[in-house]
């Protein structure tokens, strides 16, 4: 009988450890999900904060350009260069669009003339 008692005891111990391991895995899983949710909230808040910083920086450069240059000279120059680049690219887009738009205007004018002549 001692053998069966010992076997029963070992079986109960194994079952208890398996139960504890399962509970531990579930808890770890829940913790991982909670941590991911919190990290997501942090990321969202940081993105929002960076947008506000950008607005503040832009307002500072527009309202107090000399002060901005005094404290952030290299960065202000970099932004100014990028602004000039963007304006040049916009002009290039307008130049590419212009012939296509001109063709449309000529087509519309030709249609109007044709309709008027009839």
Q: Encode pLDDT of 63-100 as tens digits.
A: 999 999 999 999 999 999 999 999 999 999 988 887 77
Rounded to whole angstroms, how far apart are CA atoms 76 and 71? 9
Q: Is 53 helix (H, G, I), strand (E, B) or coil?
A: helix
| Least confident stretch, 25-34, 60-69, 78-87, 107-116 | 107-116
- Please provide the average confidence, as pLDDT, over all residues in the chain: 83
Q: Which residues contact 68 (CB under 8 A, 6 or more apart)?
A: 57, 60, 61, 76
How is the chain split into domains, by residue range? 19-63, 72-118
Rounded to whole angstroms, how far apart are CA atoms 40 and 19? 32
Higher pLDDT: 45 or 100? It is 45
The answer to whether the beta carbons of residues 5 and 12 sit under 8 Å apart is: no
Rounded to whole angstroms, how far apart are CA atoms 43 and 24? 28
Record the pTM.
0.52
């Amino acid at each position: 009988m001692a053998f069966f008692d010992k076997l029963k005891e070992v079986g109960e111990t194994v079952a208890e450890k398996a139960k504890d391991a399962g509970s531990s895995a579930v808890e770890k899983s829940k913790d991982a999900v909670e941590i991911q949710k919190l990290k997501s909230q942090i990321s969202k808040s940081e993105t929002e904060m960076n947008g506000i910083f950008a607005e503040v920086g832009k307002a500072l450069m527009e309202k107090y350009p000399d002060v901005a240059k005094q404290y952030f000279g290299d960065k202000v120059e970099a932004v100014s260069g990028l602004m000039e680049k963007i304006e040049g690219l916009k002009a290039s887009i307008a130049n590419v669009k212009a012939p296509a738009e001109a063709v449309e205007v000529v087509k519309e004018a030709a249609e109007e003339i044709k309709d008027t002549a009839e």
